[in-house]
Copies of this chain bind each other. A is one copy, B any other.
Amino acid sequence: MTETRSLEPEEWELWDTWMRAQRLLTRELERGLQHDCDISKAEFSVLVTLWQAAGREMRVGELSESLDWDKSRVSHQLTRMEKRGFVKRTQYGADGRRAGIGLTAEGRRAAQSAILVHGGNIRRHFLDSLTPEQASVIRAWSVQAVDRLEPRRSEAAGDGAS
């Protein structure tokens, strides 16, 4: 105990700088999203996921699984987005109350435009700042970290290429 020493200054500095870089980058991107598309990062995530479902309605559980969000978080987010008119909850079965989630016309419009704009921002702020070597190291570390930290989804991660 007395000499756990926690972290060496240089270790702490690596951690701190890395965290700071992430925070700055995500903040910048979120600001861009808000400014250019008037939607939040959370809204973007939901829009993209539903967009990728290509018109098919999703269930809350599917969204939750796919986004790796708590179900209640998804529910709260859907409530907010329903108020904004981006998504609608529909009845699933004939009698039951299970909700299917679909994009409204406005949701589709917002999703399409946001994907373009935000994609461009990601390229400008992140991808273009990486040397090929950095890209490959970061990719490798990320895959390894996700693998280690995310028990399920070990296979079928959906990464298709390479």
Spell out A's residues near B (CB within 8 Å).
Answer: 4, 6-7, 9-18, 20-25, 28, 68, 115-116, 119-120, 122-123, 125-127, 129-130, 133-135, 137-146, 148-150, 159-162
Residues of B within 8 A of A144 (CB): 129
Residues of B within 8 A of A162 (CB): 10, 13
Residues of B within 8 A of A25 (CB): 145, 149
Q: Are B122 and A13 in contact (CB-based, < 8 A)?
A: no
Q: Are B119 and A7 in contact (CB-based, < 8 A)?
A: yes
Interface of A: prevailing SS: helix
A143 to B162: give the CA distance in the assembly, Å: 29
A115 to B12: give the CA distance in the assembly, Å: 11
Q: Are B123 and A7 in contact (CB-based, < 8 A)?
A: yes
- Number of identical protomers: 2
A14 to B142: give the CA distance in the assembly, Å: 8
Residues of B within 8 A of A17 (CB): 139, 142-143, 146, 159
Q: Are B4 and A120 in contact (CB-based, < 8 A)?
A: yes
A-B residue pairs in contact (CB < 8 Å), sample of 24: A4-B120, A10-B161, A10-B162, A11-B122, A12-B119, A12-B159, A13-B160, A13-B161, A13-B162, A14-B139, A15-B122, A15-B126, A17-B142, A17-B143, A17-B146, A17-B159, A20-B68, A21-B142, A24-B146, A125-B149, A129-B141, A129-B148, A133-B137, A138-B141
